[in-house]
Amino acid sequence: MRGFAIIVCLCAVLAGAVLPAKAGPTLVFDARSGRVLHAEDATAPWFPASLTKLMTAYLTFRAIRDGRLTADSRIVNSELARSQPPSKIGLPLGATISVDQALRILIVKSANDVAVMLAEAVSGTLDGFVAEMNAVAAELGMSGSHFVNPHGLPDPGQVTTARDLGLLTAAIIRDFPQYDDLFSLPGVKLGKRYMRSHNPLLGKFEGADGMKTGYICASGYNIVARATRGKRSVVAVVLGAPNGKERKETTETLLEQGFQDAWLKSAFARKLADLKSETAPGERPFHMGPTVCAGRYRGAADAYVVDEARQRDAEARQAEASAAGNPMIDGGDENDTPEPPEPPMPTLRPQR
């Protein structure tokens, strides 16, 4: 009886825990069991932004597994890839990099041109890759998701949910554990340029071991973050934070509570696939533009357009860098409060 009373008290304490209230949909689950530890509007439609690149990476992993590519395969910077808005690495037309390099840059730098390069290498054409994205999303049970591009740049048809991102993340962890280290890289070097990860938790939150951030005006500040302590691994999905600081703090709070709750909740909680949609048919994602991009947001007619001033500035930097013989650029950085750059690190070796 005493043990039962303790459990009841603990449940009451955990149920009354204060959660951050300044983000959109949120989700926390045990990475190994798939048990849901927390869910708030987890089936509400949302713009994924660069979290889209988790699907691009997953399809690339599958292509390598199936023998369609290897880590050493060279992929080409086509005219279509070269034309993508920042964030990008800005390689010359026809230049090549390895699939291994591309995956690292995709996750660390969140480069849109590299996302298209990988898409064309995996499926032959961009349209073919998008069709494959949607087919695999259906296969994974991502019933609230639809993709129209491999990078997450603004488009009204590019939609997902926190639940679906959880299913995708769980599939990456389950199917391709050999790529775990890819998501925890603090940075990557290509040529003379060092690119730092946008993930604000790496090296700062106990056990943080990666995944991916995303940001456009429409989505606000998104993140899928994982942390591991001992034998416990917890994943948090945070969508629609109003700024990078709130995204970081919300994610840390949810992960910390996930570790505290997991031992008790995981035995009784639902699995990700059991979360049922509470969204009305045809409901559109909430648009964060007026909150996140105040002063630059021009209303619904401009809802899905990349911020033009930011893009022009980034492309100007790209032109200057290219003229100087160093095409790497930082336009479109997802961190709104950048930190001083870390010292360069040795060129990373391909993983076998």
Tell me what pLDDT residue 291 has: 87
Full set of structural domains in the chain with CATH:
29-274 (3.40.710.10)
Catalytic residue among 87, 88, 109, 110: 110
Examine the residue annotation and report whether 212 is marked as an active-site residue of this protein.
Answer: no
Phi, psi of 18 (to 5 degrees): -85, 120
Q: Are 85 and 311 in contact (CB under 8 A)?
A: yes
d(CA 70, CA 128) in angstroms, rounded, equals: 19
What is the pTM for the complete model shown?
0.82
Distance between start and end Cα atoms, the chain: 54
Beta bridge partners of 232: 229
Examine the residue annotation and report whether 143 is marked as an active-site residue of this protein.
Answer: no
Degrees to nearest 5, angle at CA 58 with 26 and 225: 30
What residues contact residue 264 under an 8 Å CB cut-off, 6+ apart? 7, 10, 11, 14
What residues contact residue 341 under an 8 Å CB cut-off, 6+ apart? 194, 196
Amino acid at 216: I
Helices marked H in the chain — which ranges?
A: 2-15, 52-65, 79-82, 99-108, 112-123, 126-139, 162-175, 244-265, 289-292, 308-323
What tens-digit pLDDT sequence spans the chain (352 residues)? 444 333 334 443 334 344 444 569 999 999 998 999 999 999 999 999 999 999 999 999 999 999 999 999 999 999 999 999 999 999 999 999 999 999 999 999 999 999 999 999 999 999 999 999 999 999 999 999 999 999 999 999 999 999 999 999 999 999 999 999 999 999 999 888 899 999 999 999 999 999 999 999 999 999 999 999 999 999 999 999 999 999 999 999 999 999 987 555 655 678 999 998 877 778 899 999 988 887 665 554 444 444 444 444 444 444 444 444 444 433 334 433 233 333 333 333 333 3
Q: Are 154 and 178 in contact (CB under 8 A)?
A: no
Examine the residue annotation and report whether 277 is marked as an active-site residue of this protein.
Answer: no
**Tokens read off for 150:** 């491999």
Q: Which residue has the tokens 């973050």?
A: 225
d(CA 242, CA 22) in angstroms, rounded, equals: 7
Catalytic residue among 53, 88, 248, 265: 53
